[in-house]
Structure 1
Amino acid sequence: MKFQIIDAFSDEVFGGNPAGVVLLEDGQGFPSDEVMLKTAAELRYSETAFIKKIGDKTFHIRYFTPAAEVDLCGHATIGAFGAMLEWGIIEDNQNYTLETLAGSLNVQINDGFIFMDMSEPIRIATIENEQKKAELAVIMGLKPEDILMNPDIVSTGLPDIMMGVRSKKLLNAINPDFEALSKLSEAYEVTGVHAFSLGEDGSGITADCRNFAPLYDIDEEAATGTSNGALTYYLFEKGMIKPEERNLFIQGEAMNRPSKVMSKLSVADGKPKIQVGGVYKKLAEGEIYI
């Protein structure tokens, strides 16, 4: 099997969020879950995408962290389609269909910029109890009054807690108790916490973000497409994002891996649709002998 390492949501190597991408040979079925888990752990990135071509413009992708399979991963999808562009399997300025555990999604490629559909956005719950908000704040190394608005659990493929803080300084000061955050994530049945501070007026930045998912062996992640898709919906519900506008989320600065994640929300027949996208840079490629 061929593989690549792709830095997603960045146009420079060592920026963005790196993902492993493994391409199955024509006619080859997915390896066992155990093999894919071990491969993801061996590649040592937060997610590895395993690609199976099932039609001229249709692909089935499964996503594995070093600890478990997940339904969808934004940066690994950007990485997967970037890798397929590099291999010459797909072409620029085309639309493709992606089959995932989160459903069938559309992927658009325009001049090297990859835009992917998110699953239908769902607000699962709101954390409005003051004691529970205080518990979340303490686990994240904050004070309860540092949290901006009630946190929501939102999913556009993976559920995360959307937690706003009052300034970028507070965002940078977050220092989670990872063991406690893992237990909290398990209790809430979420992937983790997507923390953000709103961008300053005139900056062009919608929000600065940090993402924490220790339950899946990811203490912090440099760019998360699904989480920023969920944040797009969260801010739309709060009246802070307008339909059809492009939104810019900056993530990974605390890890010295700056990432730029773009999103767009549209509404058709009363239903919101969210797309997330970015560019990529290839870091490495090779063969896996299993």
Structure 2
Amino acid sequence: MSISIAIIDAFTSIPFRGNPAAVCLLEEPRNEQWMQDVAAEMNLSETAFLEPREDGSYGLRWFTPTVEMELCGHATLASAHYLWENSHLPQGRIAAFHTRSGLLTAEQTENGIRLNFPAEPAAPVKAPEELIQGLGLIPRYVGLNRMDYLVEVDSVQTVQSLKPDFAMLARVDARGIIVTSKGTGKPGDYDFISRCFYPASGCKEDPVTGSAHCALAPYWQRRLRQNAFTAYQASARGGELYIELANDRVLMTGQAVTVLNGQLNG
């Protein structure tokens, strides 16, 4: 039996930029091992699996090539894009996803697809030695939420020039490490930038990480005393996010473009 699958670049309107995700629409339930095998075969940072529900919503699970994830922004954005583009949802209808992190929604706006995600603030902690050695610097701030370490460094240049020791970072007891700095303050620049490393989860550096901004948004709200941000993830592919913080929710807006449609045999 063949199953529809697509590769969609998220948080970009330009093919081969942003963060690619595979989106697989299931016509019947599949077991966890099968989904993990498909994700390993696709070998992207995330593969999303959609399972339709009778009320028009969808079950949604995310897998890296090696593990299932608790939360993923770019593959959720890609999933919503896929549903509207292929007429599984009418244009203008909110996409509702049941996930391991609760109910998540996506809606179409004039600026792109807006995701409604939970805020995941990080609490200050002492930096583990593996983190300091893996990044090769002394951070200005280190925090931890239920998934990731959040690290602030001194400048945009430091974020951009980082050359982590991924073997050392893989020893850090967390899903991953988010490194961030304030923007330069120049007109038209971003409020903050980041890079995200997930070697313990099968992805050395993620191109654009929506879920990381669930920690970044409340952090920079406190630091900059504002609720709306333009952010940039400074990976090799790069990606822009437009973010609003509304109480305990993070609203992230980005675009997506399909680069491949196919059929999965198996």
Q: Residue 232 of structure 1 corresponds to which residue in structure 2?
A: 217
Where do 1:1-290 residues align within 5 Å? 1-25=3-27, 28-29=28-29, 31-111=30-110, 113-123=112-122, 125-127=123-125, 129=126, 132=127, 135-142=130-137, 144=138, 147-148=139-140, 150-154=141-145, 159-184=147-172, 186=173, 190-201=174-185, 202-236=187-221, 238-243=222-227, 245=228, 247-251=229-233, 253-255=234-236, 257-267=237-247, 272-290=248-266
Displacement of 1:133 in angstroms is 6.2
* SS of corresponding position for 1:226: coil
Partners of 2:83 and 2:55 in 1: how far apart?
Answer: 13
* SS of corresponding position for 1:80: helix
Q: May I ask how many residue pairs the two structures share in their alignment?
A: 263
The answer to whether the 8 Å contact 1:179/1:214 transfers is yes
Displacement of 1:182 in angstroms is 1.2
Change (3 A) 1:109 1:56: farther
TM-score normalised to structure 2 length: 0.92
Partners of 1:162 and 1:233 in 2: how far apart?
Answer: 11
Change (3 A) 1:16 1:97: same
* SS of corresponding position for 1:223: coil
TM-score normalised to structure 1 length: 0.85
Displacement of 1:139 in angstroms is 1.4
Partners of 1:135 and 1:216 in 2: how far apart?
Answer: 16
Q: Give the percent of matched residue pairs that are identical in Structure 1 and Structure 2.
A: 26
Displacement of 1:15 in angstroms is 0.4
The answer to whether the 8 Å contact 2:130/2:171 transfers is no
Root-mean-square deviation (CA, aligned residues, Å) is: 1.7
Q: In the alignment, residue 152 of structure 1 is paired with which amino acid?
A: G
* SS of corresponding position for 1:107: strand
Displacement of 1:263 in angstroms is 1.3
Gaps of 5+ in 2: none
Partners of 2:225 and 2:148 in 1: how far apart?
Answer: 19
User: 1:242-280 deviations in whole A, cap 9, x for unaligned?
Assistant: 23x2x12111x441x12112211012xxxx221122100
User: 1:190-239 deviations in whole A, cap 9, x for unaligned?
Assistant: 21111112112223411121100000110001100010121001112x34
User: 1:9-53 deviations in whole A, cap 9, x for unaligned?
Assistant: 00000000000000012xx11x11111111011111010000011
Gaps of 5+ in 1: none
Displacement of 1:60 in angstroms is 0.7
Segment drifting more, 41-50 vs 163-172: 163-172
Segment drifting more, 73-82 vs 102-111: 102-111
* SS of corresponding position for 2:59: strand
Q: In the alignment, residue 72 of structure 1 is paired with which amino acid?
A: L
After superposing on structure 2, the runs of 4+ consecutive aligned residues of structure 1 that deviate more than 3 Å are 132-135
